[in-house]
Amino acid sequence: MFRRLPSVARASLPRPAVRPITQARTLSSSSAPNVVLNLDARKTAQEIRSRGITSSALSGGREGGMDRDTIIRLLYSLGSRHEVERYLRIFSQSSRSTGKEGVLPEAKFAVLKIGGAILTNELDDLALSLSFLNRLGLYPIVLHGGGPQLNELLEAEGIVPDYEDGIRITDAKTLNIARRVFLQENLKLTAALERLGTRARPIPTGVFTAEYLDKAKYGLVGKITKVDKAPIEAAIRAGCLPILTSLAENAEGQILNVNADVAAGELAKVLEPMKIVYLNEKGGLFHGVTGKKISTINLDEEYEGLMKESWVKYGTKLKLREIKDLLDTLPRTSSVAIISTDMLQKELFTDEGAGTLIRRGHKLYKQSSIDAVGSSQLRQVFTERDSEVASGRKSVAEIFSDMKGSAHTIYGDEPFDVVAVVSHPEGQTPVMTKFLPSRNGILNKIVDNVFDAIKKDHRRLFWTAKADDENRAWHFEKADGSFTRAGRSLFWYGVPDVKEVETIVKGFEESGRIERVFLPVGPSVPPHRAGARAYSTSARSPLPSSRRGYATAAPTPRKRVALIGARGYTGQNLISLIDNHPNLDLTHVSSRELAGLPLKEYKKSSVSYSNLSLDDVKKMEENGEVDAWVMALPNGVCKPFVDAIDSAKGNGVIVDLSADYRFEQGWTYGLPELYDRSLTQSSKRVSNPGCYATNNQLLLAPLMPYLDPVQAPTVFGVSGYSGAGTKSGQKDAEGRSVTLPKVTAEDLGGGVRPYALTDHIHERESSTHLRSLLSASNPDWTLSFIPTVAPWFSGIISVLNAPLSKVMRASEVHELYETKYAGERLITVGKKVPEIQDGEGRHGWRMGGVQVHSGGKRVVVVGVLDNLLKGAATQCMQNLNLALGFDELDGIPKDRI
């Protein structure tokens, strides 16, 4: 979905080592929200390094470091081409704008509040990320803490840290140690930046003036009374990043300790930077009753009601009050984002954003007449934004006349950043005939506020948009289904039966309530050429049919797949699924050992094995010979192939079955039942989850909000020996290499063999991705996983033992699974303990056997799947279908789920 402007602007050229301040590029557009950033740089650094942008690339001198093309390629890896180009345009325009009177434009970019733990654990990654931002011509103002380091030194000297009302009580000895810690950490970060060729200036004091907060109660703790921006601006004029600490001085020159979050807020009031972002381990604010993350809070519309909610109390109430007080002092375009550290890159470089967005906004309205809204204001909106008016197809008067002739409601916000019109004749399905957002309405997420208001009033809705609409990702996110024909896309939600969709659309077309381009009047524009997929569904409401579309739909375009590494068991199963797919053709199968031999398992056409080189792969991608690549290679092998495809700058989708990209930014982790399907639908790089990891995550996901935060859950997994992979063996009569397992039943002697008893890759994989589902504050959460190989061929059975945070009944736990997986066609929630035979040779996942310990705070659940199918090939097919615009289960035999 589309969101407000991320807090990082984009530059067009690398800048010299020291540059006159008038040449520096920043983003201070009046339409952009303003920000203070609380930064975790790990994800940025990982993405930079994954693209080959290393420390040496940054430190090779300003002119010899990263060039503009390298930066743009990195940005393309994080977001769509439309997003990157839009941000580059905005940056270019904003770099010419002037700052607030007395404040440099560069100082208005961002204030980064960095926790002390990051300086200890992730210094190199942090420095690399800051250097990358500076390479874009940006001057982030860095404000860091040092709490963990200070506590460690205090405890080493026998001083127990003491707090009152969450504020550290600071005596003279504590303050002396704090000054040493802050100076040490400040210089450490500065030195790390200088090593990368990025000039930085330590400013440990001199920015904040304070008076005693309450000397008798808190000691040497200050309340900031003034912010002197002169040291910050002097650093920027010298071409240096300013590195600040949260130390202040009073009028007598006494150093005082101040809270770093408070200091960041005071900087925001003076500098009015682009945005305010607070890092939150939960990844946002969560509704106290439903447990769901709150996407957006429009304070003018919702603040009073929120503060009266029974669940809004203690820290939540205080946080909302503080945010409102801060935003009330800033321009209305300012906003606060509460996000988790691993979501920072979405906040910086993509439309999608992350976490909870809080803005002042304006009150929303809904009116049933043009006059109630204001005809002159509406006329201006339609004149400026409506494509029918711009193209001359209709006048505003004609549109107004149509609206007056039928029952309709006009939705919007007070400044008209978004205007929507919903037609709803009595007894008929509503149609959103107009949706007209301004750029500010998109970037500040007002589109979501208005759409949510519409959704509250209408349980089902249809609407259309141009297939190349710049905001099409937002439409796909909001819809349960869509269809593209002749350059336009039709979207809907709330109608789960595709036959009912067809009936409704036929009625729309006959009555003229939607454009007639959906009728079968001739060949349609292929969806991929119109800029959108032929069909897309969201994760919220998967339809039960095997194929979604209209009876009047144009033929679905076929897609071509190349399989790299087809000798193994997973490759063979995937060949079978593609052979069964109605719209996929396997055109290339690469295997060094089988090159030249016919692929007998594939029946659609004659295909022979080949041995594709990296140059072959690059040329095929450049020529558009393949729509999707599947990497069925061992771990650590596929990167050269991915690099070759990336270098061709084509449009091919990659699905990697190895573990190589399961932790990479820029790659979508493709477990559709748990993580946002729309991400896969819009992704070109998909990492297929591991087999054990799939079982682990499906077992744990429904329980995540109820797990004991102290005791880690344990999964004991037993897999058939096919999970160990294959090895080269003897040749058959035709000279074909015979696929043999690395481990056999004979090797196991009829028993089982535990292996990799700690730190198995699937333990890390499961833990990393499940953390995104946590609503509790526990960034170090992990599970314990023990894998075992058994003397059967395929199939995994895993037993979860999970300590709970509260007493629960088995029926309550079972209901969690039913709710979580309702409508998921590959998941069966059962009551009896599943056996290995229930998963072997089947494409779905089955769970059951929920039992709760007599104490009520420990649950055991069992899950089974086939490691070669749902654990690999079937899941790959799901991801291919989503990324290529097909129904998620196309090609998957429904009688073997």
Residues with a catalytic annotation lie at: 691
Residue labelled with tokens 């250097």: 131
DSSP state, residue 603: -
Task: Extract the tokens encoding 154.
Answer: 């205090």
Q: Report the candidate in 94, 93, 44, 78 with the shortest Cα–Cα distance to residue 273.
A: 94
Across 328-381, the runs of DSSP E, i.e. the strands, are 335-339, 356-359, 364-367
Cβ–Cβ under 8 Å, residues 514 and 456: no
Cβ–Cβ under 8 Å, residues 714 and 801: yes
Task: Extract the tokens encoding 65.
Answer: 């470091």
Residue type, 826: L
Q: Report the candidate in 844, 839, 849 with the shortest Cα–Cα distance to residue 799.
A: 849
CA 717 – CA 696 distance, rounded (Å): 8
Q: Report the candidate in 86, 88, 108 with the shortest Cα–Cα distance to residue 97.
A: 108
Cβ–Cβ under 8 Å, residues 11 and 91: yes
CB atoms inside a 10 Å sphere around CB 690: 25
What value does the CA radius of gyration of the chain take, rounded to a whole number of Å? 29
CA atoms within 13 A of residue 666's CA, in its CB half-sphere:
20
Cβ–Cβ under 8 Å, residues 782 and 829: no
The distance of Cα 799 from the centroid of its chain, to the nearest Å, equals 30
Secondary structure (3-state) at 93: helix
Backbone phi and psi for residue 750, each to the nearest 5 degrees, phi listed first: 80, 0
Task: Extract the tokens encoding 211.
Answer: 């008076």
CA 213 – CA 169 distance, rounded (Å): 11
The distance of Cα 227 from the centroid of its chain, to the nearest Å, equals 36
CA 431 – CA 490 distance, rounded (Å): 11
CA 609 – CA 620 distance, rounded (Å): 16
Q: Strand 408-413 and strand 418-423: pairing?
A: antiparallel
**In the sheet where 208-212 sits, what is the strand order?**
222-227, 208-212, 247-249, 255-257
| CA angle at 794 for the pair 681 and 860, rounded to the nearest 5° | 80
Residue type, 697: Q
DSSP state, residue 460: S
Backbone phi and psi for residue 223, each to the nearest 5 degrees, phi listed first: -115, 120
CA 706 – CA 191 distance, rounded (Å): 44
Secondary structure (3-state) at 380: helix
Residue labelled with tokens 């006048």: 395
The distance of Cα 49 from the centroid of its chain, to the nearest Å, equals 19
Secondary structure (3-state) at 554: coil
Q: What would the DSSP string read from start to end of 390-455?
A: HHTSS-HHHHHHHHHTS-EEEEEETT-SEEEEEE--TTS--EEEEEEE-HHHHHTTHHHHHHHHHH
Task: Extract the tokens encoding 619.
Answer: 């040329």
Backbone phi and psi for residue 189, each to the nearest 5 degrees, phi listed first: -70, -40
Residue type, 106: E
Cβ–Cβ under 8 Å, residues 480 and 493: yes
Question: Exposed/middle/buried for 149, CB within 10 Å: 0-12, 13-18, 19+?
Answer: buried
Cβ–Cβ under 8 Å, residues 383 and 394: no
